Amino acid sequence: MALSNNVIAAINFVAMLLSIPIIGAGIWLATEPDNSCVKILQWPVIILGILFLVVAIAGFVGAFWRIPWLLVSYLIAMLILIVLLACLVVFIYMVTMRGSGHLEPSRSYLEYHLDDYSGWLRRRVRAPFKWDRIRACLSSTNMCAELNQSYRMAQDFFNARITPLQSGCCKPPTQCGYTFVNPTYWISPINNAADMDCLQWSNDQTQLCFNCDSCKAGLLANLKKEWRRTDIILLITLVALISVYLIGCCAFRNAKTEDLFRKYKQGYT
C-alpha cells in the first residue's frame, strides 16, 4: 500500500511539472503584441495550466498522507481537465486549418485575404466594436515605425520578409498600384477599384491600413502561426498527462487491491 501511494505521489509530482509548459505557453501568448490585443486564447490556456497544477498538488497531498477521498477526487478532476485540454487542442487545430499568404509580383513578402480564414476567427475581428479596440491596441505599437527605420529604398522593402501583421496593416495592398515613398507612405494609386482596402488606406501614421480587411487577415495569419506553436506544446503535454494519468489509475487500483487484501488477511488471522 505504501509503495503504491509513493508511486501515485511521484506521478502527481510529474503532473505538477507538466502544468508548467501549459502555463508557460499561455504567458508566452500574452506577451505577443497581437495576442495581447486580441485576448482570446492566452487566459484559457493559463487558467487550464493553473487548474492542472492545483489538482496535481491535491493528488500529491492525497497520496503522501494517504487520504483516499482526495485521491478519488484527484482522479475525477484530472480526467475532466485532460478532456478539456484535448478539446482545446482539437479546437485550436480546427480554427487554424485554413488561411495562408499570397504571393504578389516582384514582392518577397506575402499578402493576406480575410476570407481565407475560418469563420470563427473572422468573427473575432469583424464586429466593429471588437475591431475598434484591437485596432487601437495595434496602432499603439511600433511595428510600422520599425519598417521606416529598416527600409529606405523601395527595392529593399519589396525584397523584405516582413510579418503578416506588418504586411496587412502598415502598407496598402500591392494590387492598388500605389507608388512607394517609404514603407508607411504611398502615393498615386493606379487602381483604387481593385480592392476595397485601396480606399481605406491613409498616409496618416495613426491610421495607415488599420481599417483594412488585409490588416485583419494579417492579424489572423500571425495568430495562426502562434496558436499552432502553442498547439504543439499542448499536444505533447496532453500525451504526457494521459500517460501519467493511466499510470496513476493503475497505481491507485493496486493500492486499493493491496488494502483489501490486507484487511482480508487481518480478518482471517
Q: How do residues 59-109 score in pLDDT, each as one tens digit?
A: 888 877 878 788 889 889 999 999 999 999 999 999 999 989 999 989 999
Bridge-partner residues for 179, per DSSP?
187
Per cent of the chain over pLDDT 70 is 91
CA distance 157 to 116: 25
> Quick check: pTM over 0.85?
yes
Asked whether the predicted pLDDT for residue 3 surpasses 80, the reply is: no
Q: Are 165 and 222 in contact (CB under 8 A)?
A: yes
User: pLDDT tier at 261 (50, 70, 90 boundaries)?
Assistant: very low
SS3 152: coil
> What pLDDT was estimated at residue 2?
47
Residues 159-180, mean pLDDT to the nearest whole number = 94
Asked whether the predicted pLDDT for residue 269 surpasses 90, the reply is: no
Cell of 258: 493491496
Count the Cβ atoms, other than its own, within 10 Å of residue 53.
18
Asked whether the predicted pLDDT for residue 267 surpasses 60, the reply is: no
Q: Angle at which helices 213-268 and 42-64 pack, to 10 degrees?
A: 10
141 versus 269: the higher-pLDDT residue is 141
Q: Are 21 and 85 in contact (CB under 8 A)?
A: no
User: pLDDT tier at 162 (50, 70, 90 boundaries)?
Assistant: very high
Handedness of CA 21, 27, 31, 32 (dihedral sign): positive
Asked whether the predicted pLDDT for residue 268 surpasses 50, the reply is: no
> What pLDDT was estimated at residue 107?
93
Please, which residues have CB within 8 angstroms of residue 222's CB and are 6 or more apart in sequence? Answer: 32, 34, 163, 164, 165
Tell me which DSSP letter residue 192 carries: G
Per cent of the chain over pLDDT 90 is 68
pLDDT tens track for 170-195: 999 999 999 999 999 999 888 888 88
pLDDT tens track for 214-229: 999 999 999 999 999 9
Cell of 255: 493500492
